């Protein structure tokens, strides 16, 4: 079941994200930051467990970012990642956002969901704030992908 995150989900969200962060697949997020941004998050709950999460963070008047998308290894390839991103994109559409982007090493996953690769420099500079706390900042291997919501 995909639903908005609740306060009690934070320890599970923290564990999910930081397991991938340990493998340098995404940025660490501290519990304080997760509480602060909790309203951005969707989770996938199976039985009593959170097995996936995804955040939609508004960046600018027409732009939001998909962040911290994680599905636990044992639950991958069951459509959970797709459902999480679709929930975030639906909310973006309802908010009137025109574009949703992600910075990712899972380019193919996003392309299957209708996102297109764009030149990273086409995104506003504010997007790169997170790069300051990334160990790979001078050797970034992430691709920028964008979904255009105008007219949908």
CB of 6 to ligand COA, least distance (A): 21
Question: Binding residue for ligand COA (CB under 6 A) from 69, 97, 123, 144?
Answer: 69
Cα–Cα distance measured from residue 117 to residue 12, given in angstroms and rounded to the nearest whole number: 31
Class of residue 67 by CB neighbours under 10 A (exposed 0-12, middle 13-18, buried 19+): buried
DSSP state, 132?
G
Question: Binding of ligand COA at residue 55 (CB under 6 A)?
Answer: no
Question: Binding of ligand COA at residue 76 (CB under 6 A)?
Answer: yes
User: Locate tokens 């989770």: which residue?
Assistant: 43
Question: Binding of ligand COA at residue 80 (CB under 6 A)?
Answer: yes
- Cα 75 versus chain centre, distance: 17
Question: Binding residue for ligand COA (CB under 6 A) from 11, 79, 114, 124?
Answer: 79
Residue ranges in contact with ligand COA by CB under 6 A: 20, 25-26, 69-71, 76-82, 102, 104-106, 108-109, 112
């Amino acid at each position: 079941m995909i639903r908005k995150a609740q306060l009690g989900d934070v320890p599970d969200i923290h564990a999910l994200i930081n397991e991938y962060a340990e493998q340098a697949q995404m940025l660490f997020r501290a519990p304080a930051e997760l509480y602060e941004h909790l309203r951005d998050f969707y989770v996938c709950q199976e039985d009593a467990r959170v097995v996936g999460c995804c955040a939609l963070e508004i960046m600018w008047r027409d732009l939001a970012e998909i962040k911290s998308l994680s599905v636990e290894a044992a639950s991958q390839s069951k459509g959970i990642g797709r459902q999480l991103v679709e929930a975030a994109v639906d909310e973006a559409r309802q908010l009137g956002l025109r574009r949703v982007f992600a910075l990712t090493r899972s380019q193919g996953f996003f392309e299957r969901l209708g996102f297109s690769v764009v030149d990273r420099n086409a995104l506003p500079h504010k997007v790169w704030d997170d790069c300051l706390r990334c160990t790979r900042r001078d050797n970034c291997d992430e691709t920028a992908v964008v979904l255009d919501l105008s007219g949908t």
